[in-house]
Amino acid sequence: MGFEPPQRLVRALGETYGDAAAGDWLARLPEVARRAVGLRHLDVERVVAPGGRSSLVALVRLPDGTPGALKVAPPFAAPDLERAALAHWNGWGTVQLLDAAGPEAGAADAAGAEAVATDAAGAGLLLERLHTEVSLRSLPEAKALLEAAGTVRRLWVAPPEGHRFESVAERTARQAGAMRAAKDDETAALVSAALDARDALVADAPEELLLHGNFRQGKVLAGDRAPWLAVGPEPLVGERAYDLARLVRDRVEDLVAAASGATSGRRRVNKLADSLDVDRERLRGWTLFRAVESGTRALAAGRRQDGELLLEFAGWL
């Protein structure tokens, strides 16, 4: 079958990594996906649409009939780090890798040099099949936040020795540079407040744990092995408050539309912080930084409505 990338993936890769890099990889994606399928002798059922923003996901069957999901991401999205994080979690709160050692290990005897020549990025990630159509966003808000808190708590473990994950300080330093370049008269005050918050937070980080990096309701899917499992990590190491900050603004469009949105948003910060034993002010600071970073990036990409929603939310904090 064909492996045409969903339009959501095309748009998101271009926005995040630039049209040139994204276009080059997307042109090679069908062949990369076919190679990943052939290496494991998989039967492909369908490509998930609209799918994710950094990878193509196809529902597959293993040679023994086991259902799975093949995730193919560009090398600049660091699928090797995602593999390392998922292997370390080993299914504890997250989707399970079905070939934790990589496809080359299982295929070496049969495929020989071909298996050795296949790079990790091109091989993709073979994952257990979850219910891709059912995320925590399908639940009422209060229940979704409760389940999300229980899931993310499981992920906060010590990173493996000798890991190659970047730190919160390193990732946010790059983002801060882009924010400074993008700020204008309209966003200057919020950007300055967000950058000041970030500087204070990284100067006094309380812990270094393995984090999901992009945790939100849509990244937690229904499963059979466990009711809810996290997917799509962008792993890094740092403090829990950073990881929780993206969850705070989930369903931001509903918050902004509500008359009590500002009060509800601030209450959500406190409730999540208290339920997970995270310092309220650190969570508020990281929520501010991450909302402003996402908002200015959305404005720069021409997604004005998204950007304005995020910046209005940030202004409440």
In a domain, 306, yes or no: yes
Environment class of 105 (CB within 10 Å of its CB; exposed 0-12, middle 13-18, buried 19+): exposed
Whether 2 is covered by a domain: the verdict is: no
Residue 109 confidence (pLDDT): 40
Of 156, 68, 81, 74, residue with least CA distance to 121 = 74
- Domain final residue, candidates 68, 100, 129: 129
Instruction: Kindly state whether residues 296 and 218 are assigned to the same domain.
Output: yes
pLDDT in tens, the chain (317 residues): 678 889 999 999 988 888 898 999 999 999 999 999 999 999 999 999 888 889 999 999 999 999 999 999 999 999 999 999 999 999 999 999 998 666 554 444 433 333 333 344 467 999 999 999 999 999 999 999 999 999 999 999 999 999 999 999 999 999 999 999 988 999 999 999 999 999 999 999 999 999 999 999 999 999 999 999 999 999 999 999 999 999 999 999 999 999 999 999 999 999 999 999 999 999 999 999 999 999 999 999 899 999 999 999 999 99
Domain-located, residue 106: yes
The first and second tokens of residue 179, run together, are 């924010």
How high is the pLDDT of residue 116? 32
Note whether 244 and 95 are same-domain residues. no
Are residue 142 and residue 123 in the same domain, yes or no?
no
**Is the same domain home to 69 and 97?**
yes
162 shares a domain with 260: yes
pTM over 0.85: yes
Q: In this structure, are 97 and 240 located in the same domain? A: no
Task: Tell me, yes or no, whether 95 and 51 share the same domain.
Answer: yes
Looking at the structure, tell me whether residues 285 and 192 fall in a common domain: yes
Number of domains present in the structure of the chain: 2
Looking at residue 188, its pLDDT comes to 95
> What CATH number does residue 159 fall under?
3.90.1200.10
Q: Is there a single domain that holds both residue 45 and residue 105?
A: yes
Residue-number span of the structural domain to which 85 is assigned: 7-129
Residue among 250, 62, 243 at smallest CA distance from 154: 243
d(CA 3, CA 49) in angstroms, rounded, equals 11
Of 114, 129, 144, which marks where a domain is finished? 129
